[in-house]
């Protein structure tokens, strides 16, 4: 019998390699075979295909070259990196030489970046085998992965439902057994929400904990790179590899990187767990509410002190986020003009016409909507009323968390108000789609860390995730609590 790719974790990969039961090359080929069989659309030659559509491009040559290097190290008995031989996928908003970087947009179709993102380079230096690039909402703008120019991604746990967004391809690839781990990005919930919808672990690191160099920007003060994995320990391993300073990113912190894996061994007894009433109000699915209550009961039984906290400005988080994020998107996406890279409209007689036509042809509807909203918020006469005011409210939201963290070590809440919804269910109502971020955007605005941990299923078999939020740069405590939740086996 071969390895079970749906449950394979990093410890198992290392044991199989060191024990001589498989090779990194064979493991990569096994994952590529599964991708070929299930990721594409069903057809006469591929009756088992599920049309998940998680991968946009495969980097077979680069992956197999790395696998050969790992196999040679194993044969010689050389020390192995923490990710040696682990098949990993990369969200297509991160640059990776030899593979296109489209950000899920037609405007970057065929663009081949000349350098690796720092996070990509760190993974490969740790021994990871990089399988390819993963589908996502265009420029990471979306909560369902239905905004990609290259088609929507399906949820492997329920093919008629969305995997979440914008990192839907990254979450789906882990859930479907196409990769042991993946990289995603989170601007307002784009790691945590897909992780919850697909039943995997997803980590939002503190802003500045992981370099953003090589990340195609959506909103620079909010964008963060983070991992998807099957276990909390795997997430801790990824975070140890990815975290740290970077001379090419002025926002990357030079704070020492904690031993996240070692921290998982510490008991959680005595930790104070905050429960914000503002996250348990009207609109929360009752099965999710019940699942979070079971988590809290389990943490109490493990010796944690569970107590209420208040985050009074939570109700302003979604509108604040969508002013700041769209304003920054308006600025960042102005570089896509048909001159420097990507698509260029052919039938344009003047420079301004080329700009207009290139953007009209290259950007999708959601990206255009957010550019318009952001440009309006930054325009003369409206800057103070919208953008400046939103930044002031952002400060209030951050102070809410700082005050709460004076009383507790972590905060536990839902990740999403509902389980994964059906494909096409909310595409015609942007406001409903934006409200999917109601429990995730506040942590993004405050810059704190957060994680989505699987904590059960609905009666229909849809995954449920619980959100654990931690203090700035205290991923170690956050992951300790996440591991305790995982151990409950809900």
Which domains can be identified in the chain, with CATH numbers? 10-263 (3.90.1300.10)
What's the distance, Cα to Cα, between the start and end of the chain in Å? 28
Identify the active-site residue in 54, 59, 91, 143.
91
Is a pLDDT exceeding 70 seen at residue 105? yes
> Which helix H or strand E contains 225, and what residues bound it?
strand 224-229
- What CA–CA distance (Å, rounded) separates 196 from 163? 9
Instruction: Give the DSSP letter of residue 44.
Output: T
- What CA–CA distance (Å, rounded) separates 281 from 315? 11
Beta strands 449-457 and 410-414 are unpaired
- What CA–CA distance (Å, rounded) separates 165 from 173? 13
Task: Give pLDDT, residue 327.
Answer: 96
Is a pLDDT exceeding 70 seen at residue 348? yes
Crossing angle for the helix pair 365-378 and 317-332, to the nearest 10 degrees: 100
Identify the active-site residue in 54, 144, 148, 190.
190
107 touches 358 (CB < 8 A): yes
Contacts of 297 (CB under 8 A, 6+ apart): none
Query: What does R_g of the chain's alpha carbons equal in angstroms?
Result: 21
- What CA–CA distance (Å, rounded) separates 300 from 272? 10
Q: What is the mean pLDDT of residues 129-149?
A: 97
Query: Active-site residue 307, yes or no?
Result: no
Task: Give pLDDT, residue 43.
Answer: 64
- What CA–CA distance (Å, rounded) separates 309 from 421? 30
Task: Give pLDDT, residue 1.
Answer: 45
Task: Give pLDDT, residue 3.
Answer: 87
Task: Give the 3-state secondary structure of residue 332.
Answer: helix
Query: Active-site residue 109, yes or no?
Result: no
Peptide bond into 326 cis (omega under 30): no
Query: Active-site residue 190, yes or no?
Result: yes
Q: What is the mean pLDDT of residues 312-335?
A: 96
Q: What is the mean pLDDT of residues 166-181?
A: 98
List, for residues 112-122, the tens digit of each pLDDT value. 999 999 999 99
Backbone angles phi, psi at 316, to 5 degrees: -95, 0
Is a pLDDT exceeding 70 seen at residue 75? yes
Closest CA to 320 of 441, 425, 171: 441
Burial class for 341, CB neighbours closer than 10 Å (0-12, 13-18, 19+): middle
Instruction: Give the DSSP letter of residue 160.
Output: T
Tokens 């959100």 correspond to 467
Task: Give the 3-state secondary structure of residue 477.
Answer: helix
- Model confidence at 321, pLDDT cuts 50, 70, 90, reads very high
Task: Give pLDDT, residue 46.
Answer: 73
Question: Considering the entire predicted model, what is its pTM?
Answer: 0.96
Q: What is the mean pLDDT of residues 58-77?
A: 98
As a whole number, the mean pLDDT across the chain is 96
Identify the active-site residue in 54, 105, 166, 452.
166
């Amino acid at each position: 019998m071969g390895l079970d790719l749906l449950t394979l974790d990093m410890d198992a990969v290392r044991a199989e390699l060191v024990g001589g039961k498989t090779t990194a090359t064979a493991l990569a080929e096994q994952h590529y075979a599964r991708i070929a069989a299930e990721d594409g659309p069903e057809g006469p030659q591929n009756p088992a295909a599920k049309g998940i559509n998680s991968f946009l491009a495969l980097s077979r040559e680069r992956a197999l070259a790395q696998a050969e290097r790992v196999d040679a190290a194993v044969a010689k008995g050389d020390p192995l990196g923490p990710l040696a031989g682990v098949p990993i996928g990369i969200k297509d908003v991160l640059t990776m030489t030899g593979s296109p970087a489209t950000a899920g947009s037609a405007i970057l179709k065929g663009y081949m970046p000349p350098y690796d993102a720092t996070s990509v380079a760190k993974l490969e230096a740790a021994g990871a085998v990089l399988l390819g690039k993963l589908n996502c909402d265009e420029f990471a703008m979306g909560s369902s992965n239905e905004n990609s120019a290259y088609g929507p991604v399906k949820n492997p746990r329920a093919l008629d439902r969305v995997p979440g967004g914008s990192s839907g391809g990254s979450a789906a690839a882990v859930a479907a057994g196409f990769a042991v781990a993946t990289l995603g990005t989170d601007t307002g919930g784009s790691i945590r929400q897909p992780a919850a919808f697909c039943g995997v672990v997803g980590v939002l690191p503190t802003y500045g904990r992981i370099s953003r160099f090589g990340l195609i920007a959506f909103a620079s003060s909010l964008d963060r790179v983070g991992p998807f994995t099957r276990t909390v320990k795997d997430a801790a391993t990824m975070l140890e590899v990815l975290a740290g300073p970077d001379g090419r990113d002025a926002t990357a912190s030079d704070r020492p990187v904690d031993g996240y894996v070692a921290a998982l061994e510490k008991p959680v007894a005595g930790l104070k767990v905050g429960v914000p009433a503002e996250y348990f109000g009207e609109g929360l699915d009752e099965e999710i509410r019940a699942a979070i209550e079971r988590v809290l009961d389990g943490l109490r039984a493990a010796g944690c002190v569970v107590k209420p906290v208040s985050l009074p400005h939570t109700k302003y988080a979604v509108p604040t986020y969508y002013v700041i994020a769209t304003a920054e998107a308006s600025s960042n996406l102005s570089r896509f003009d048909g001159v420097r890279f990507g698509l260029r409209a052919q039938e344009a007689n003047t420079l301004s016409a080329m700009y207009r036509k290139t953007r009209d042809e290259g950007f999708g509807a959601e990206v255009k909507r957010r550019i318009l909203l952001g440009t309006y918020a930054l325009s003369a006469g409206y800057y103070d009323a919208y953008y400046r005011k939103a930044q002031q409210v952002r400060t209030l939201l951050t102070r809410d968390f700082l005050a709460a963290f004076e009383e507790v070590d972590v905060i536990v809440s839902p990740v999403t108000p509902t389980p994964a919804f059906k494909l096409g269910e909310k595409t015609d109502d942007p406001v409903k789609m934006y409200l999917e971020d109601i429990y995730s955007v506040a942590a993004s605005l405050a810059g704190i860390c957060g994680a989505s941990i699987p904590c059960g299923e609905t009666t229909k078999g849809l995954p449920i995730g619980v959100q654990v939020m931690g203090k700035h740069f205290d991923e170690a405590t956050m992951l300790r609590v996440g591991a305790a939740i995982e151990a409950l086996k809900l």
